[in-house]
A and B are shown apart, each in its own frame.
Chain A
Amino acid sequence: MKLLVTLKRTPQRDARIRISEAGDSLDLDNVQFEVNPFDELAVEEALRIREAGAEVEVVVVTVGGEECQQQLISALAMGADRAVRVEPSGQSLDSLRVAGALVAVARREEPDLVLAGKLAVDDECGQVPAMMAGLLGWPQANQASSVELSEDASSLRVVCEVDAGLETVTLALPAVVMADLRLNEPRYASLPGIMKAKKKPVEVLALDELGDAGSTRSRVTGFRALEEKSPGVRIDTAEELVRALEERKLV
């Protein structure tokens, strides 16, 4: 069985992100990067499926320049077997092109399951994995909080955290599953894991060789800060609070 985990390099979760002076880009010079936390959950889930006893190869893939190498190595250090990086050669890609590139990799690798985070914490679009499912024609489950492989490894039972509660679905493999917060707790890479990761193969594929459509139709053209909120008032008692809310006709 083969599991393909897609991941993205994103700024560290507590990083302070500044807008460039021109307002058209972000100043990321002094920012540290990591594996998108939701993708880390996907890596962890793949490793757990392997550890549950199935004969499994875990392949991680990202689309991005050489700077993404470190995040692939982080996933290899957690325990993934090998990595693939799609090199976009400086082109800026929208979600559909990223999904297209990842689907091209999926067609080469022929995995039984694609695992991904439900959202990247930088742009927060949450589009790529579901686009992959659409392009591949595979069933999908989003916001997964529990994943269980059937005994014959032909299907998955997935619990999803939806607006109305917990939804259970079954997916025949191959399928695409997107990890949510409560799916698991990702492990830290061990020291031997980190040493081994350096020797694991990382294949680099050029975007142009993967049948890329070549046109980016969605782009971010500017950033701005949130409007400053005027400071609120401190109140001392419950009565005073009710009076203030009454004055605003809120209760």
Chain B
Amino acid sequence: MTDTLVVIQAAAAELSKSDLSAAGFGSQAASAAGGVFDILLLGPMASSLSSTAAGLGARTVFTMSSGELEAYTAEAYASAVEAFLEGRSWRLVAAATSSSTKEYFPRLAALLDVPMASDVLKIESSDSQRVVFTRAVFVGNLLATVELEAPRALVTCRASEFEPPAAAAEPSTIQEVEAPSGLAHPGKSFVGIEAASSDRPDLKEADIIVSVGRGTRGPGEGIPLCEKLADTLGAALGATRAVVDAGWMANEFQIGQTGKIVAPEVYIAIGLSGSIQHLAGMRNSKTIVAINTDPEAPIFDVADFGLVADLFDAVPELTAVLEKRGG
């Protein structure tokens, strides 16, 4: 048994960058073990995403949806994958790290009684009995080698560390699988979700992120300057924990150890010092720019370009230079 199954939550109209990276992980895992990979699209958009997913190099794209999978719950999603796996076997069952997979993959591991590796950065080796990964520990300050000794294992992968797969020569076979009933847990109800509306790109999709720290002094002061810069660049907006704790921006913008972990082409850190928790969420960005008045701020240790300046002068100047160049 050498094959990998990649599970993708099919909730949106398009596959996300993370979904493509998960397929890239599947492709890498399959070649490390000498097998192939398959995709399971789980959720209301499974059928409509299947033709796009069929171009990612998988052998088969399975689709599964039902009323109980309409709104995500950990209980129903874990039970759905468990039911899907009955009578089928894969070496690895994988997904991109997300708030959903953080929740339902360990539950699934318990249901299946198989070991799991969380948020891996790299596949070191894989054979029929043992799979070895690298992952970050201690707030991203150390790398650990993790060995799972079992014929079957679960894994979540950090999407920013895996490239999407190369375009496939042949499309995958698409196979619809019927979802059994009784997936939802009678004790769990989804009430609703509240999301800050924004026209800017999603943090995990963006090529450029403008990230806001406490030094911006809030929505009445520096944050609008950063928003204007983000819009000039077509960038996503991110924030530190302090900014979210202060209520200046919503939780889904938080970048760091316990928020989102991102690695865009360009990360522009404005008025933030760079706590180890924040660095853990962005240090793998390809190019890091820091703007801060304090030349000793730790963010400068990871920055490719450091501008020691008052953000209230530098950010509007930067926006003006970019606008002039654009026009």
Contacts and interface: CB of A to CB of B under 8 A. Distances in A.
Is the A/B pair a real complex?
Answer: yes
Interface of A: 11, 17, 19, 26, 94-96, 99, 118-119, 121-135, 138-140, 142-143, 145, 157, 160-173, 175, 180-182, 217-226, 229, 232-239, 241-242, 244-246, 248, 250-251
Nearest to A164: B195
A128 B116 CA distance: 11
A126 B142 contact: no
A143 B321 CA distance: 41
A132 B102 contact: no
Given A122-B137, A181-B241, A245 B145 contact: no
Contact of A175 (B118, B187, B266, B300): B187
B266 A245 contact: yes
B195 to A, nearest CB: 3
Interface centre among A171, A181, A239 (most CB of B within 10 A): A181
B245 interface: yes
A242 B322 contact: yes
B252 A165 contact: yes
Interface in B273-327: 283, 287-289, 300-308, 314, 317-318, 320-322, 325
A112 to B, nearest CB: 12
Interface of B: 73-75, 78, 98-100, 102-111, 113, 115-119, 132, 135-150, 185-196, 204, 208, 233, 241, 244-245, 250-252, 257-258, 260, 265-266, 283, 287-289, 300-308, 314, 317-318, 320-322, 325
Contact of B116 (A127, A224, A242): A127
A43 B18 CA distance: 34
Which 7 A-B residue pairs are closest in the complex by CB-CB distance? A134-B110, A165-B195, A172-B187, A130-B106, A238-B317, A134-B107, A139-B188
A165 B250 contact: yes
30 contacts: A11-B138, A95-B106, A95-B109, A96-B109, A118-B102, A122-B137, A124-B135, A127-B106, A131-B109, A132-B110, A134-B111, A142-B102, A162-B252, A164-B99, A167-B190, A182-B245, A218-B117, A218-B148, A220-B146, A222-B144, A223-B137, A225-B143, A226-B140, A232-B288, A232-B303, A233-B305, A242-B321, A244-B305, A248-B287, A251-B266
B74 A164 contact: no
Contacts of A133: 74, 107, 110
B103 A142 contact: yes
Contacts of B257: 124
Contact of A130 (B107, B138, B189): B107
A212 to B, nearest CB: 13
Contacts of A242: 318, 321-322, 325
Contacts of A142: 74, 99, 102-103
B305 A232 contact: yes
A238 B322 CA distance: 9
A138 B99 contact: no
A244 B266 CA distance: 12
Contacts of B307: 234-238, 241
A165 B194 contact: yes
A180 B321 CA distance: 41
A123 B73 CA distance: 26
Contacts of B321: 238-239, 242
A171 B190 contact: no
Contacts of A173: 187
Given A164-B252, A165-B194, A238-B318, A232 B116 contact: no
A121 B325 CA distance: 45
Contacts of A219: 146-147, 149
Contact of A217 (B115, B135, B204): B115
